[in-house]
Amino acid sequence: MKSRWILVLGVALLCAQPFVAQEDAPTPADETEAARQDDAAEGEAGKKKIQNGLYVEVGVGTASMDPLDTTLRKSSSALALNSIEFEDMDYGRAVIGWRLPGNKGRFRLIWEGFTETGYNFNSTGRLRDLGSTVPVDPVTQQSALIGEGLDWWNIEVIDGAMTVTEAPPVWTFADDADGDNTIERSEVTYPSVTFSNSLNIAADLENRVQIADIVFGREFGPRRFEGVWWGGLRYFAYEGTLLQGAWLHGSRDQYTDGVLLPLIHATQKSSGYGPTGSLGFQVNFFEKRFQLFASGKFAFTMSNIETDTGTFFSLTNGFDNSTTFTAPARLQAERSRTSWHTHVEGGMRLTLKNGLGLEIAYYKGGFLDAVITPTEIRIPQSAGNIPNGTTGFFATQDLKFDGWRSSLSFQF
C-alpha cells in the first residue's frame, strides 16, 4: 500500500517540476534592458507628442484709419463739414494654438487690437448767408443770389489742442468774376479774422477695436505651393468717441466755438459675433524655413451699434427776440444689423530649426457699418419749441485700416 502511494507521489513531483522551473526562471539581462528601453522610448514619444502641439505668438505693429465723415447738417442752408482722422494707431496681436499630430490640422485662438494714439479733427461751418444785407446791383437793382454755402468758421483739434477761427465772408459785385449775379465760395474774400482762440479738450478719445477669433485650419496642395484655409467664429468690439462741430442756434449763426457751446462728443459702442474664414497660399523655400504668403479673410457678424452724444445745449431766441434761451439736447441711437468684415494681407515668414519664427506683413481691412453718427439735427427755432426737444437723423459708417505688423512665434 505504501509503495503504491510512493509511486504516485513520485510521478506527481516529476510532472510538476517543469512548471515550477518555468515560473521561477530568471529573465535574461539583455531582454530586461530591451524592455526598459522600449518603455522609455514610448514615454519619450508620448511626452514629445504633447510638447510639439503647443503654438504661441505675439506681435505688434502700426495702423492708420481712413478719415471718418461726421458732417452734421442743421438745415438746407447751414451745415458743419466734419472729419476726424486717426493717423497713428497701435496694433497688437496674441495667438495661442495647438497642432494636431500627423498634419491633421491646427486650432488657434487669435486676439487682435487697435488703439488710438492721436487724432486730427477738422470742422468748417458753411452758411448760405453773408451775415448782412445782400448787395444790390446798381444797374439792374436786383439782389445778388447766394449760390452755395459760404465758409464762416473753422475748428481744428490736434491731440486735444483746439484752435477756433471765425472769418465772415465778404462779397461785392466787383467780385462777381463770372457775371452771373450769384455769390460763390470762390469769389468771396475774408479780409479779417474776428475771433481766434486756442483751447484744450481730451487728448485721448479712447477709440479701441478688439477682435477675438477661434479657428481651425489646414494646409493643402503640393509641397512647394501650398494652400491654407481657416474657419471658425469671431467676436468683435469697438468703443470710443467721435467729435462733431455744429450750428446750434435756432435762428442765428451761433456754433460750437468751444467757449459758449462745446463740441459735440458722440460716444460709440459696437459689438458683434459670427462666422469667420480665410483662404490663402504660401510659397515654401528651404524645407519651409522661409515662406512668402498672402491671404484674404472675411467675417459676417450680427452687430449691435450704439451712439450717445450725452447732454449738450442749443440756443434759441426768446419770445420777444431780445433774450436768448438754452435748450437741453441729447441724441441717441441704437441699431441691430448684419455687418461684413474684410481683411487682406501679404508678407514673409522665417522659421528656425528650434521652432522660433518671425513674420512680417502688410495688411488692409475694414469693419463695415461699425459706427453710427448723427448726420442731421433739428433744434428748437424759438422758445415755444423748446418742449419739443431736439431730434436727429443717423447713418452708419465703416472703419477702414491699413498698416504693418511683425510677430514672433514658437512651435513647441
Identify the band that residue 362 occupies on the pLDDT scale cut at 50, 70 and 90. Answer: very high
pLDDT at 141: 63
Tens-place pLDDT, residues 119-155: 999 999 999 888 767 777 666 666 778 878 899 999 9
pLDDT at 8: 38
Inside any domain, residue 280: yes
Do 203 and 231 contact (CB within 8 A), yes or no?
Answer: no
Question: CA-to-CA distance for 400 and 364, rounded, in angstroms?
Answer: 8
CATH code where residue 221 lies: 2.40.128.90
**How many CB atoms lie under 10 A from the CB of residue 222?**
8
pLDDT at 309: 94
Inside any domain, residue 336: yes
Q: Of 52-56, 68-72, 136-140, 392-396, where does mean pLDDT reach its minimum?
A: 136-140
- Statement: residue 215 has pLDDT above 60: yes
Q: Which of 336, 323, 332 is nearest to 383 (CA)?
A: 323
Question: CA-to-CA distance for 137 and 90, rounded, in angstroms?
Answer: 58
Inside any domain, residue 196: no
Hey, is 280 helix, strand or coil?
A: strand
Specify whether 21 is located in the same domain as 80.
no
Specify whether 63 is located in the same domain as 10.
no
pLDDT at 139: 66
Do 313 and 248 contact (CB within 8 A), yes or no?
Answer: yes
Inside any domain, residue 220: yes
**How many CB atoms lie under 10 A from the CB of residue 259?**
10
Inside any domain, residue 127: no
The DSSP code sequence of 367-405 is EEEEEEEEEEEE--SSGGGGGG--EEEEEEEEEEEEEEE
pLDDT at 185: 85
pLDDT at 323: 81
Q: Which of 397, 392, 88, 399 is nearest to 236 (CA)?
A: 399
Q: Cell 444797374: give the residue.
A: 139
Identify the band that residue 15 occupies on the pLDDT scale cut at 50, 70 and 90. Answer: very low
Specify whether 88 is located in the same domain as 31.
no
Overall domain count for the chain: 2
Tens-place pLDDT, residues 251-299: 777 899 888 899 999 999 999 999 999 999 999 998 889 999 999 999 9
Q: Of 292-296, 326-330, 382-386, where does mean pLDDT reach its minimum?
A: 382-386
Query: Which residues span the domain enclosing 33?
Result: 2-40
Average per-residue pLDDT in the chain?
Answer: 84
Specify whether 351 is located in the same domain as 267.
yes
Do 272 and 302 contact (CB within 8 A), yes or no?
Answer: yes
Specify whether 270 is located in the same domain as 293.
yes
Tens-place pLDDT, residues 45-62: 444 444 568 999 999 999
pLDDT at 194: 65
Q: Of 70-79, 169-178, 309-318, where does mean pLDDT reach its minimum?
A: 169-178
Q: Of 22-31, 321-330, 389-398, where does mean pLDDT reach its minimum?
A: 22-31
pLDDT at 117: 92
The DSSP code sequence of 108-134 is EEEEEEEEE---EEEEEEEES--SSPP
Which of 386 and 270 is assigned the larger pLDDT?
A: 270
Share of the chain above pLDDT 70, in %: 83
Identify the band that residue 13 occupies on the pLDDT scale cut at 50, 70 and 90. Answer: very low
Inside any domain, residue 329: yes
